[in-house]
A and B are shown apart, each in its own frame.
Chain A
Amino acid sequence: MNYRAIRSLKGKKVRKGIFYGHAIPYLEDIEIKGRFIVIEGPDASGRSTQIELLSSKLEADGHAVLNAGLRRSELIGQGILEAKRNFVLGRRTISLFYAADFADQLENKIIPGLRSGYIVLSDRYIYTLMAREAVRGISSSWSRNLYGFALKPDLVFYLDVDPNGLVHRVFKKNSYLDYYESGTDLRLSDNMLESFVMYQKLLRKEFKLMQKRYNIISIDGNRSITEINQDLQKRIDDYLQNLQNDK
């Protein structure tokens, strides 16, 4: 379990949130009732489809579900999009912009949701941000410190898709390759397709490096939607079942 389980005076179990590093001082001792599940994976790996399926199933089972994700804060999300469109931001600036957006989501959505007992399903989390930073030459110790205020999830899944196969999925989704998802700013290759594959390989490598430290469960994402869903659903159900048995 990722949470400190503390017995309160009345003998009821109280779970406190655990943070990766320096917690936000006023959130240090918050009580968490819900569960926090993260789905990571590259663009077009099927994350949002899986989250939809998982949400419906969990809701059918009687859980309250809340979806979260990157670049979704009302305050900052739009600003990042606009700035990226103009290609004006440096790598350090982009990192901090994303971190601000993430903090806003964490404090205003994820944590309140968990406190009131929701299962929070997050479409990507700090790991994607840290991987992107690492391939851009930003030191991992800097990134780890930056995201030290992040709450530790209960489960983290990584949809692992072969970068060569990923291209076809992207083309199925859109008819073009996204500038940033292709790592074009890294000038890996003049050929956009090649650049995309190279960039996705670099990110995948970073995920492999992070796997152990962050307990990331790798899920074979080269299978069909249904197969992946059954795999994820079973793991989540088992996890929730074990919690029931613990009580």
Chain B
Amino acid sequence: MTTIDPARSTREGVHEQPARGGTGTRGTRILGIATIVAMGWLVAFGLGFSPADRDQQESVRILYVHVPTIWIAYLAFTVTAIASGLYLFTKKKSLGWDRLAGASAEVGTVFVAVTLVVGALWGRLTWGVFWQWDARLTTTALLFVTYVGYLAVRRLGGSHEQRARRSAVIGLIAVLEIPLVHWSVRLWRSLHQEATVLDTDGDIDMDGLMLFSLFVGVVAFSLLYAWLVLHRTRVMAMEDLMDDRGLDLALEARRSEGRRSERRTGTPDPRPAGDTIDKDGAR
């Protein structure tokens, strides 16, 4: 964990101006352009060139965004689990893994939310209802809530290491939970197969241009995922640095308080300079 030199900040007032810019690098700029191009192709093929489906007519076009978003969400949560494992089980315990896990989970959670909403729109067109308690929808809804919980655990406060360890454990537990939930929901819905007009768990047969449009969608959203995660991890690194700097400044302020009171009264300040209080009010 790197820290900002507090002496430098307080002596000079404002530290030397960093270069204007942000979290962009040449790599992310290329990635960003590729993403935009791919998204353009997706719109062109998804809304234009690809044909309507025999059964679903035009509503199949929604799937070209709907399916990629959920697949990328699965990818994102897998990355979160792997990064969590790497944080917990490597000797160095680099916080970079923790930030990767967190950024990936944030992106994944948003993607699941989009999946659910867009899926409801698709369901309205194909089944006539916005929602059904079939295996897939139920599991996806629980997936969403599970990772909302993960993100909440990341915000519990405390040191960066505490956050990293807690959420790494939760991130790995989630990978255990999700298959269990999926299995139980599938078993449940398969035994209670109420007559539905359309087989909701069946996949449509896609070929030719339709399959290609889906492929473009997956590529486009994968590029987007990479771009988002790269930027978000860099932002998180800076947020952590700001946290550390805030702590350093607080310590420095405390120390100078102590020195001032010592000079005044001639006796050392009884309270130790290292006193810190975390968000819960615990030491």
A and B: interacting chains: no
Residues of chain B touching chain A, judged by Cβ–Cβ distance below 8 Å, are none
Binding site for B on A (CB under 8 A): none
